[in-house]
Amino acid sequence: MWDLIILGLLLAAVAVLALALTQPILFPPRRTPAPPADPARLEAHVRYLSERCAPRDYAHPENLDRAADYAAASFRESGGRVAEQGYRVAKVPCRIVLARFGPEGPPVLVVGAHYDAHGPHPAADDNASGVAGLLELARLLGRNPPAGCVELAAYPHEELFGSPDMGSRHHADALRRENAPVRLMVSLEMLGCFTDEPNSQRVPLPLLNLLYPSRGDFIAVVGRFRERGAIRAFKRAMAAGGGVPVRSVCAPFPVPGLDLSDHSSFWLAGYPALMVTDTAFLRNPRYHSAQDTAETLDYPRMAEVVRGVYTGVRSLAAGKGAASR
């Protein structure tokens, strides 16, 4: 009997852990009307960044400047209130490009993506896709202003990960010095790689194979357990607005790769943050290589992801979901 009781408790504990980790949507959300994102615009943004601005690593500041100019012009065209934060890396100027939508005043919801690349590669998925999503999100927010303040941020030097030279580190630290109340930071990190091939999706830990699909046909919302409220709310809003399945990782224990983007800068500054991602090297075999080109991305599905991000941003900006602190 005691063996059965212990086994039952262990199974219950595993079930609770699985539920906490995956944050399943038990009841399908009602569809949220949302304007469509434009696949052709997304492709144009990706091609400009991955072709005309390449290579855009720290060794080519002139191309990083070109990418920053492009983001600023696109933000202005969308009606954003554009500003820049400048700083230097090894005495070379670099720029964080910011655009605000909706009313001014706290709290602020930040959405960011990095426009730099790893090495001399096109970096279409990593991370021209995230910036393209950011620029298309700006267009949608410009036409349909959010109820709360949303700040979009295009960052340099995410590929100097772990360094104080990351653009997101400077942005998060500046907000902290101002004691600015940030509702949540959302990092858009690789949004364009999708595949229906069997066994095309890997996971960072073997035990997760039982909990996540083996096909790379979904988008993931990723964060720490303390962000569980925000993860659940953002995931549900994304699923209600977009047409791509949404999975989540709400990590109550260390998961490799959980912090590998600009959201980690906001964690260091004491702000809640999460990442929206196609799971990067766990799915995309062209990651950090010359083969990460514009032709390899799935723009119709990427447009559905952006549409889902739009509904998530509008929902949280309106106070319909709170980050767990």
Question: Model confidence over 293-313: pLDDT tens digits?
Answer: 999 999 999 999 999 999 999
User: By the 8 A CB rule, do 47 and 294 touch?
Assistant: yes
Q: Residue 64 pLDDT > 50, yes or no?
A: yes
Are the beta carbons of 35 and 98 closer than 8 angstroms? Answer: no
Q: Assign 9 a pLDDT band (cuts: 50, 70, 90).
A: low
Q: Is the pLDDT of residue 26 over 90?
A: no
pLDDT confidence band for 214 (50 / 70 / 90): very high
Is residue 42 classed as helix, strand or coil in its secondary structure?
Answer: helix
Provide the 10 A C-beta neighbour count for residue 202: 14
- Residue 247's DSSP bridge partners are 220
- The pLDDT value recorded for residue 238 is 97
Written as one letter, the residue type at 40 is A
Question: Nearest-CA neighbor of 60 among 114, 6, 119, 123?
Answer: 119
In which band, very low, low, confident or very high, does the pLDDT at 322 lie, cut at 50, 70 and 90? low
Do the Cβ atoms of 37 and 304 come closer than 8 Å?
A: yes
pTM score of the predicted model: 0.95
Q: What is the pLDDT of residue 116?
A: 98
Q: Which of 131, 79, 70, 69 is nearest to 101 (CA)?
A: 79
Whether 3 shows a pLDDT value over 80: the answer reads no
Q: Specify the pLDDT at position 17.
A: 75
What's residue 252's pLDDT? 87
Closest residue by Cα to residue 307 from 78, 37, 31, 101: 37
pLDDT band at 324 (very low <50, low <70, confident <90, very high): very low
pLDDT in tens, 140-164: 999 999 999 999 999 999 999 999 9
| Structural domains present in the chain | 2-317 (3.40.630.10)
Q: What is the pLDDT of residues 88-120, one digit of tens each?
A: 999 999 999 999 999 998 899 999 999 999 999
